[in-house]
Chain A
Amino acid sequence: MSLLKATDIRKSFSGREVLRGLDLSVEEGEVVAVIGPSGSGKSTLLRCLTGLETPDSGTIEIKGTTGLVFQQFNLFPHWSVLRNLVDPQVVVQKKPREEAEKFAMSLLARMDLTEKADEYPYQLSGGQQQRVAIARAMAMSPNVLFFDEPTSALDPELTAEILKVIRKLAEENMTMVIVTHEMGFARGIADKVYFMEGGVWLAQGTPQQIMEESGNERIRSFMNLIEQKE
């Protein structure tokens, strides 16, 4: 059975239907990219899957826990980098502090942030902050990790460092669902790509199928637009 299985998800905001019957299934170790024009409902879907919103109808089954990396990082500014990673483990998961700190330091090492452990978020660059946010999500040992446009708030040179980290996680077989505008990245990393428009999937399949073989006019024009920007 799939690690994540969502069926016929529907969600309206003040009468406007944003998600109009979406299905999504993610296998363990799979990397899924969700693309599509802005306002198509991608973020709303992630928010439903992570429990920040409750869908109006449909079912969501997830084996295990989820983590979410935000576009705006959302680190806790009054805590040091280390405490951002340790506090949720100690308070939510009731882990012994020592164990939590050890795990946090190992995650920071993987993110190349060991020497930033005692600094505060405002002292870090955007890219560093987003890496801390990824480490914080990882600290809860989620079974599936969601990314909501993780590089949209970053300068191009900082984007690369985040993409590198996500790629590394993919190599470690982390199950991930990534909402992104980075087409080339989605093509390179995703096992499956879903293209959303108007709250439904316009197309889904392997990156090749979506990006190169799709006969859909809308997808082609969206791709062209994005590739021009890149």
Chain B
Amino acid sequence: MTVQTMIMLVAKSFPMTLAIFVLTLLGSLPLGLLVYFGRASRFKPLSKIVRGYISIMRGTPLILQLMVVFYAPSLLLHINVPNNWRFAAVIIAFIINYAAYFCEIYRGGIESMPVGQYEAAAVLGYTKAQTFIRIILPQVIKRVLPSVTNEVITLVKDTSLASIIGTVEMFTRAKQIAVAPHSPGMLTFVVAAVFYYIFNYVMAFIMERIEKKLSYYR
């Protein structure tokens, strides 16, 4: 196997890593906000359940959660899972895990908002929903952006955990190539590392641009 072939094979597995990454963010960023509403609910049973969920998501390894989501329907509930369940399970597990972390990040941001912002909005006659969407949320986004960037970068690296349920993303593919007959071996990992690094570099750059864009006020 030539080095070019090896690089091509690694590159071809990148879309899977990218898909896990993008779908996880698309799902967990908004879901995290909904989870926050549940956690902050004055309806105690709901708030308790959500707290339990967050505690489990943050207190157990993501790799274990992947296995539970993938196997529980067929092994515990005896449901016939569709043949693309493997990928769906990866996305669901990643989304519900990351939503728990994003919820806590949002919570930090929302609770750090001065109460005066709510009061000023209330006195002007904004409804609670208008206050949240127009006044609180935009400021919270700015406040939590650095923490969100951290999670985004972690997610790029976490995508490799999907291999536990047989999803062949970039890292798993690199491991396969490295042991394939007559492959360049170790060099495959160097190439994979370069791919991960460039991907993270691009993400960090994008996040920095967004932060800059939001730095028009203090």
Q: Which residues of A contact B (CB under 8 A)?
A: 50-52, 65-68, 70, 72, 74-78, 87-88, 91-93, 120-122, 136-137, 140
Q: How far is the CB of A91 from chain B (nearest CB, A)?
A: 6
CB nearest to A75 among chain B residues:
B120
Are B218 and A88 touching (Cβ within 8 A)? no
Which candidate, B48-56, B135-143, B153-161, is the interface stretch facing chain A? B135-143
Q: How far is the CB of B136 from chain A (nearest CB, A)?
A: 10
Are A120 and B216 touching (Cβ within 8 A)? yes
Q: Which residues of B contact A (CB under 8 A)?
A: 114, 116-117, 119-126, 130, 134-135, 138-139, 142, 216-218
Q: CA A136 – CA B117 in complex, angstroms? A: 14
Q: CA A4 – CA B169 in complex, angstroms? A: 69
Are B125 and A140 touching (Cβ within 8 A)? yes
Q: CA A88 – CA B139 in complex, angstroms? A: 17
Q: Given A72-B116, A91-B130, A77–B124 Cβ distance below 8 Å?
A: no
Are B217 and A120 touching (Cβ within 8 A)? yes
Other 16 A-B pairs with CB < 8 A, given A51-B123, A66-B123, A91-B130 = A51-B122, A70-B120, A74-B117, A76-B120, A76-B121, A78-B139, A78-B217, A88-B124, A88-B125, A88-B126, A91-B134, A92-B125, A92-B126, A92-B130, A121-B217, A137-B124
Q: How far is the CB of A133 from chain B (nearest CB, A)?
A: 8
Are B122 and A77 touching (Cβ within 8 A)? no
Q: CA A52 – CA B119 in complex, angstroms? A: 7
Q: CA A96 – CA B122 in complex, angstroms? A: 21
Interface-centre pick from B117, B120, B126, B216 (highest chain A CB count, 10 A):
B120
Q: CA A67 – CA B123 in complex, angstroms? A: 7
Which residues of B sit under 8 angstroms from A77, Cβ to Cβ?
A: 139, 217-218
Q: Given A52-B122, A92-B125, A140-B124, A76–B116 Cβ distance below 8 Å?
A: no
